[in-house]
Structure 1
Amino acid sequence: MEQVVGRLFFLFTEKEFIYDVLQSCLRIFGSFFAASAVAIPLGIMLGSFGGFKALINPTVSGLRYLPAASFIPLLLVWFGPSETAKMALLFLGVLFFLIAMVLDNTEAVQREYTEAALTMGASRKRIILEVIVPAAMPAIIDSMRTMIAVGWTYLVIAEIVGAKDGIGAVMMRAGRFLNVDTIMAGIFMIGVLGVLTDIMFRILQRVLFPWNVKKKV
């Protein structure tokens, strides 16, 4: 372990490794927030409209059982070993699971809230925007925190495919020379970044929804 930590500190003395870490972070956050921008509205719609759910959910449920890595040959045909292919793989790795989780979060909103709003004459659109979304958002943020961890697990797979930079590319180059310390340092770095991301989402949840944190306690 000391050798791994020592190697990690040595890597940070090189500007190239800092650049690799930043590139990996940009890929993770860029692809994740793009997936969230699609998954959250779609999940809320699926959870709010039974007919729409009956139409779309079987397809979403089926797609989430396909491993993201199985899309690699198709992505390489479409985009080649490009940045777009890497981002698309990370995007697909999160998208379908996040849709399903947001759907569940939306359906978990207590019916008393929506029934009270209906009694007061609120429209369906207003109920979704002013009742369902605010009530579901703490759970949705929690689902995002869970799914960005999944994104980190796909990072190495995405960066191995024709990557010139990123933590995965560093690990791949180290593997060619049997440099185990560098490989382990890369794994450790991804773990540290994952933990920091988790902490960031927990802080975000506490700041945005302090009442929900007190409720859990």
Structure 2
Amino acid sequence: MADIEFTKNTNKGPRRKSRLLELRTEIPAGLYFTAGISFIGAFFLIWLLLTSFELVPPLFLPGPEAVWKEFARQISEGILVDDVAASLYRITLGWLVSTLLALPIGILMGNFKFFEGLFEPFIDLVRYMPAVAFVPLTILWTGVDDGQKILILFIGTFFQEVLMIMDNVKSVPREMIEVSSTFGLSRWEILYNVILRYAMPGIWDTFRITLGWAWTYLVVAELVAAKVGLGYRIMRAQRFLQTESIILGILVIGLLGLCTDMAFKLAYSRMFRWMDRKG
């Protein structure tokens, strides 16, 4: 009896690769959004389970319900509104002053080696100094009013912002500058019409990133002699072991930072439609 050989047909055509793990490949917007929401949902679910089964003592990690009750109390008493308003004022002013000074200095350093050599050694020195170390000095210099808080926010963002703007300007291909010069554009026309236009999307991203840094320095800025503010409320709650108030303050800072970040991204998409962000 002849042997019968059974063969499995494995020729099913080219296998379709999953786009999820393809390098720098776009995925549907719905999937992108769902992934982010799912991760946040999983985080809060783990938090709820840990506190519901008392796996962590409430003193160290209160549940979402306790944080929600604290949120409702602070809203009803007007505490949270006042804190948010004070912190937004300090963040906005500190970041604006930092940006208005960092922008021209960064542009000069990115275009002219003389200014890079003039400013970069000092900026490189100061940017490694922690902003919290300047708290005693800023109190001596400006007292304990809002000026001191704004100065801390300025110190925390200015020096890094200058160097990032310088790098944004340096990213302009030298060939573009040489071609523009060949076509007879003046130095300032090249600076405005070529260099700044090319570098502006990157500079706008630098604005967004440094504003995010300013939010992280808020607690440090409101560490001393503040009477209102989200950072002040967190430090005050720590003294009285009000953990739910600490978590509420952290979440509010995170949400406000996220809102400002999304606003900058929306403005980016409107102002720089010609940019291909797919990478």
Fold-level match, TM-score > 0.5? Answer: yes
SS at 1:20 equivalent: helix
> Offset of 1:6 from its aligned partner?
3.4
Give the partner amino acid of 2:241: L
User: What is the Cα-based RMSD across aligned positions, in Å?
Assistant: 1.2
CA distance in structure 2 between the partners assigned to 1:88 and 1:97 by the alignment: 15
> Structure 1 regions of 5+ residues with no counterpart?
none
Note the alpha carbon deviations across 1:178-214, whole angstroms, 9 max, x for none.
Answer: 11111111011111111111101101111111111xx
CA distance in structure 2 between the partners assigned to 1:109 and 1:13 by the alignment: 52
* Closer/same/farther in 2, CA of residues 172 and 125 from structure 1, 3 Å limit: same
Runs of 4 or more consecutive aligned structure 1 residues displaced over 4 Å after TM superposition: none
> Comparing 78-87 with 95-104, which one deviates more in the overlay?
78-87
CA distance in structure 2 between the partners assigned to 1:6 and 1:114 by the alignment: 59
> Comparing 98-107 with 116-125, which one deviates more in the overlay?
116-125
1:49 equivalent among 112, 117, 129? 112
Could you tell me which residue of structure 2 aligns to residue 211 of structure 1? 274
> Offset of 1:91 from its aligned partner?
0.7
Give the partner amino acid of 1:20: D
SS at 2:217 equivalent: helix
| 1:122 paired to 2:159 | no
> Structure 2 regions of 5+ residues with no counterpart?
1-62
Name the structure where helix makes up a greater proportion of residues: 1
SS at 1:122 equivalent: coil
CA distance in structure 1 between the partners assigned to 2:128 and 2:271 by the alignment: 32
CA distance in structure 2 between the partners assigned to 1:188 and 1:158 by the alignment: 18
Could you tell me which residue of structure 2 aligns to residue 102 of structure 1? 165
> Comparing 8-17 with 144-153, which one deviates more in the overlay?
8-17
CA distance in structure 1 between the partners assigned to 2:167 and 2:113 by the alignment: 13
Which one has more relative contact order, counting CA pairs under 8 Å at least 6 apart? 1
CA distance in structure 2 between the partners assigned to 1:172 and 1:66 by the alignment: 23
1:34 equivalent among 85, 88, 97? 97
1:137 equivalent among 200, 209, 213? 200
CA distance in structure 2 between the partners assigned to 1:185 and 1:176 by the alignment: 15
Which structure has the greater CA radius of gyration?
2
| 1:178 paired to 2:219 | no
Give the partner amino acid of 2:199: A
Give the partner amino acid of 1:208: M
When normalised by structure 2's length, the TM-score is 0.74
Task: State the aligned residue count.
Answer: 215
CA distance in structure 2 between the partners assigned to 1:131 and 1:6 by the alignment: 54
> Offset of 1:5 from its aligned partner?
3.3
1:24 equivalent among 49, 74, 87? 87
CA distance in structure 2 between the partners assigned to 1:133 and 1:173 by the alignment: 45
